[in-house]
Structure 1
Amino acid sequence: MLLHRMWYLISIQWLFLLASSSIGLIQVRSQEGPLFASSRWIVDGEGRRVKLACVNWPSHLQPVLAEGLNMQPVDNIMELVNDMGFNCVRFTWPLELATKETLASTTVKQMFTWLGLNQSLANITTHNPWVVDLTIADAFETMLERFQQNKLMVVLDNHITVPGWCCGLNDGNGFFGDRFFDPSVWMKGLNKMALLATKFPNVIGMSLRNELRGPKSDVDLWYMYVRQGAETVHAANPNVLVILSGLDYDKDLSFIHKRPVNVSFTGKVVFEHHWYSFSHSGAWKGNLNDACGWISASIMDKAGFIADEDRAPMFESEFGINAQKGDVNDDRYINCFMAMAADQDWDFAVWALQGSYYFREGVVGMDEWYGLLNYEWNDVRNPTWLKRLSSLQKPFRGPEMKQSPTNDGVLFHPQTGLCVLEGKDAGWPLSLGPCNDATGWTYTPQETFLLKGRNQFLQAAGAQKPVQLVKSEPLASRWNQTSNSKLHLSAKAADGIMVCLDVDGVNLVTNECKCLAVDSSCDPTSQWFKLVKSSHI
């Protein structure tokens, strides 16, 4: 099934993606067979980068069944995942699925009847009759088979112990030794799930535990149990990546700075991190340049350094926005997130796929405003958000690709998810377009932007005027990062006025720099640009 409305918005980007193999770009693709951690990259057996562009698909709530089977046939949903440009699913599961036989042996029909979800059961019978009489455990395994048939990679995520919504600070599921979090039971569950995954080469990774948290959190215990969990998974299934989450709702891995995780195996450890607007909710109310600047620095210090220093891959396994209605904090946060995610070229899993739930926190049929899909699971909820997100699905670079110097890259515009390219209109030399089609730039020691392969430089003509290309470096503008976000590019125009790179529709102009400091009410993001290292150029 084609999503015609969505395809209209992003088909040009996908068409270029399909043509990109000629320049050595790894395409968004699924991979069967083991993947490996090589420095900061996830790679295949030949050392080629495989970027995980995943969606979160929950199966950890009280029905313990992949959400959405009451709305659409499962293969239709998986086709939508592929059509939206994703190659991977972070598939969640509760520990009791693997450790509590009375739960695992309950049939789907029995579970939904017990929960009083009679209408959902009737709809599942219509759309996915194959699952109704399966046990919960068999239904989960069959989902893995369907993922494989639909060429989707899978990361299995132990999300919680007792089926239900996650995550409360004192819900008993947060840290080793909590009421519902016995480490020995946890390792038995990991072992069982890792053995199950050996049947499915498309299961390429296992996340040991989601969002460790709570008053019992302790770094020494983290090292002890995370090492044991990692060894347990690797012993049962040496093919899968072993994905480690940090503390404080998976926001903090800062302790890795001075104390690496030592395990008996190599080439399999990946770290994960979560980042939402509410991770720093109060900060987004201030000046956005200041907020983005210090939050980005904090993210790098607490987690981002792991990939940035080539220690291990970083999997941004949860992030997202309210895609249903506008939220000021989300709007501010996501522009900052997009800049960093492109710059760092993280593997990721967006929260979330689901448009609705069977039963969440006592509510039947709850809508999921963060969902990529609409309530009925048959179309995209917010095509504009998906269009922006699509720019992160393709890798900007990788270990086997042509390596560009530090000051070479593409100019990425976080607000749109597009990049700067040469315009086709002589009156507008530069415009925004798909990043795979982007113009390459060198930021020179003279603080000019040189168009790669051409002896042309970026020039600011003046406020509300198109950006120009000039052939003489002495005539070129000197560009500098102006604000604390390090995303404003400013220059002195020919008339002596300081201006910033900006967009007018999709065309590049310069305008008076806005919202540089103090002012918390204005939006600077049309003027945000990031020079992102890229092998596209």
Structure 2
Amino acid sequence: MRLLLALSAALLPSIVSSFPNTPFKTSSQWVHDSTGENFTYVGVNWPGAGEVMIPEGLQYQSIQSIVSKIKSLNMNVVRLTFAIEMIDDIKDRGGDVTLQKAFQKGLGSNGDKVFQSVIKNNPQFTASTTRLQVYDAIAAELAKQQIYVHLDNHMSKGKWCCGGNDGNTWFGDTDFNVNNWKRGLQYMADHSKKWPNMISIGLRNEYRKPDKAGSSLAYNWQVWYEQNKAAADIVNAANPNILVFLSGLDYDTKLTPIPNADDLGGGKKFRLSDFSYKDKLVLELHNYQNSAKACGDIEGGLWNNGFRATGDKAVNRMPVVLTEFGFTQADKSYNGVYATCLRKLMPQWKSGWTVWVISGSYYIRSGTQDFEENWGLLNHQWSDWRNKDAIAALKGMVDETLKAVNR
């Protein structure tokens, strides 16, 4: 008996600390796993919200190959984007669309050719495999390689994001049906319960002011609060285990009134205490100040626009994750002011991030099929890194961020 107890005690730490250690929760500026250890997002964006509404790259590589590339950088999370239109099809148009039909619809006469390439690289799929089953397969491979999933509602209508006239800018815009949005978030929060590595969901990517009047609701912080609070309530009820990410205004570059509970309009203020699930909320920001001449300009902007919430003087002290930043991989931008500044700031602030973007190419972007993505970490065929010097610098950012949190 004593021997069994001793063996049990010896095995316990490895069992407790084994992946995935969910659910996660927040405390002050930190995210903690179920063992109480700090977790910091260091990962990459994998788009899936384009016209085909299937995560990119599968016509060139297997899911396993792509995930292995991500794992080789020691990244721990993928920001996996989706469109609400995928759920609208399931709910209102006869069910989830098959892989073959998705490519036919998104790419026209070229759809069947691309589909054949996808199933050649990923023989687990067939003509009857659905779009959501592809997401399931990606989540499963990420779990197999011990990488977490952060879902992100990128668009309502499946297409390239983002612009002021794309119909997806703000609540009530041409394609931004608020009820469908909330329903879609609820559906994905519930569906992803079966993914053991599912840890969080972003309610919406890059709120922005419409170029023309088209939304039924005013573009202001009061509406932002009302709609996000309602959506977060729905998501938390559907899956209380996952974290909920809140993005800001002006293409998610501003969360200015949130850290210090400033007036949002009409006397409304954001207070963590108003949320019964306050230990499940995270703020997210984007930054693309590629033309910055000094790191101080980037640092001051990021801090004042939202990262102040990680400071000890914040009224609403919360984690903040830089869920999008990036630059071309086709030159030496990785050595420029912008890239080197962010490589310094994220470890300094002990904050997480997900870089834009893994995609070396897109099925279709803005009407161009097989679109070349020079910002992609991978080359056009998704077979190797586009710029190995840039990747070495990014790997250093991964290591330094994780090291800083564990100090």
Q: TM-score band (shorter)?
A: 0.7 to 0.9
Aligned equivalent of 2:300: 297
Q: Residue 357 of structure 1: CA displacement? A: 1.0
**251, 269, 280: which is aligned to 1:249?**
251
User: Which range moves more in the overlay, 228-237 or 259-268?
Assistant: 259-268
Hey, what's the Cα distance between the residues in 1 that align with 2:229 and 2:400?
30
Aligned equivalent of 1:306: 309
1:268 and 2:273 equivalent?
Answer: no
Q: Residue 104 of structure 1: CA displacement? A: 5.1
Hey, what's the Cα distance between the residues in 2 that align with 1:369 and 1:362?
17
Aligned equivalent of 2:157: 162
Letter in 1 for 2:104: T
Given that 1:97 and 1:103 are in contact with CA atoms closer than 8 Å, whether structure 2 keeps it comes out as no
Aligned equivalent of 2:77: 88
Hey, what's the Cα distance between the residues in 1 that align with 2:208 and 2:277?
27
Aligned equivalent of 1:222: 224
TM-score, structure 2 as length reference: 0.84
Query: How big is the alpha-carbon RMSD for the aligned residues of Structure 1 and Structure 2?
Result: 2.1
Q: CA offsets per residue over residues 243-298 of structure 1, 9 Å max, x none?
A: 100100000000113233432223110000001135xx4xx3xxx3xx43233212
Hey, what's the Cα distance between the residues in 2 that align with 1:90 and 1:224?
25
* Alpha-carbon spacing, 1:375–1:79, altered in 2? closer, same or farther (3 Å): same
3-state SS of paired residue (1:205): strand
Q: Residue 73 of structure 1: CA displacement? A: 1.3
Q: For the pair shown, which has the larger CA radius of gyration, 1 or 2?
A: 1
Letter in 2 for 1:128: N
Mapping of 1:418-429 within 5 angstroms? none
Hey, what's the Cα distance between the residues in 1 that align with 2:405 and 2:45?
27
Mapping of 1:337-486 within 5 angstroms? 337-394=342-399
Q: Which blocks of at least 5 consecutive residues in structure 1 are unaligned?
A: 1-28, 398-435, 437-532
Q: CA offsets per residue over residues 176-206 of structure 1, 9 Å max, x none?
A: 1111112221111111111011111201001
Q: Residue 108 of structure 1: CA displacement? A: 1.1
1:128 and 2:140 equivalent?
Answer: no
Q: Residue 394 of structure 1: CA displacement? A: 3.8
> Per chain length, whose mean CA-contact separation is higher, i.e. which structure has more relative contact order (CA < 8 Å, sep 6+)?
2
1:179 and 2:179 equivalent?
Answer: no
Given that 1:104 and 1:135 are in contact with CA atoms closer than 8 Å, whether structure 2 keeps it comes out as no
Hey, what's the Cα distance between the residues in 1 that align with 2:61 and 2:54?
14
User: Number of residues paired by the alignment?
Assistant: 364
3-state SS of paired residue (1:111): helix
Q: Residue 32 of structure 1: CA displacement? A: 4.2
Q: Residue 326 of structure 1: CA displacement? A: 4.2
TM-score, structure 1 as length reference: 0.64
Letter in 1 for 2:377: L
Aligned equivalent of 1:321: 327
Q: CA offsets per residue over residues 343-385 of structure 1, 9 Å max, x none?
A: 1121111111111111111111111111111111121111222
1:112 and 2:122 equivalent?
Answer: no
Hey, what's the Cα distance between the residues in 2 that align with 1:370 and 1:169?
22
Hey, what's the Cα distance between the residues in 2 that align with 1:206 and 1:123?
30
Q: CA offsets per residue over residues 324-355 of structure 1, 9 Å max, x none?
A: 13459x82211222222221121111111111
Q: Residue 151 of structure 1: CA displacement? A: 1.9
Q: Which blocks of at least 5 consecutive residues in structure 2 are unaligned?
A: 1-17, 211-217, 263-268
Hey, what's the Cα distance between the residues in 2 that align with 1:270 and 1:138?
28
Given that 2:347 and 2:405 are in contact with CA atoms closer than 8 Å, whether structure 1 keeps it comes out as no
Hey, what's the Cα distance between the residues in 2 that align with 1:370 and 1:233?
32
Q: Residue 138 of structure 1: CA displacement? A: 2.5
Letter in 2 for 1:295: I
Mapping of 1:324-335 within 5 angstroms? 324-326=330-332, 331-335=336-340
Hey, what's the Cα distance between the residues in 2 that align with 1:265 and 1:345?
23
Letter in 2 for 1:251: T
**239, 242, 245: which is aligned to 1:240?**
242
State the percentage of identical aligned residues: 32
User: Which range moves more in the overlay, 261-270 or 110-119?
Assistant: 110-119
Letter in 2 for 1:198: K
Aligned equivalent of 1:33: 22
* Alpha-carbon spacing, 1:55–1:103, altered in 2? closer, same or farther (3 Å): farther
Aligned equivalent of 1:443: none
Q: Residue 84 of structure 1: CA displacement? A: 1.8
Given that 1:352 and 1:372 are in contact with CA atoms closer than 8 Å, whether structure 2 keeps it comes out as yes
Which structure has greater strand proportion? 1
Hey, what's the Cα distance between the residues in 1 that align with 2:405 and 2:200?
26
3-state SS of paired residue (1:249): helix
* Alpha-carbon spacing, 1:186–1:123, altered in 2? closer, same or farther (3 Å): same
Given that 1:32 and 1:201 are in contact with CA atoms closer than 8 Å, whether structure 2 keeps it comes out as no
3-state SS of paired residue (1:374): coil
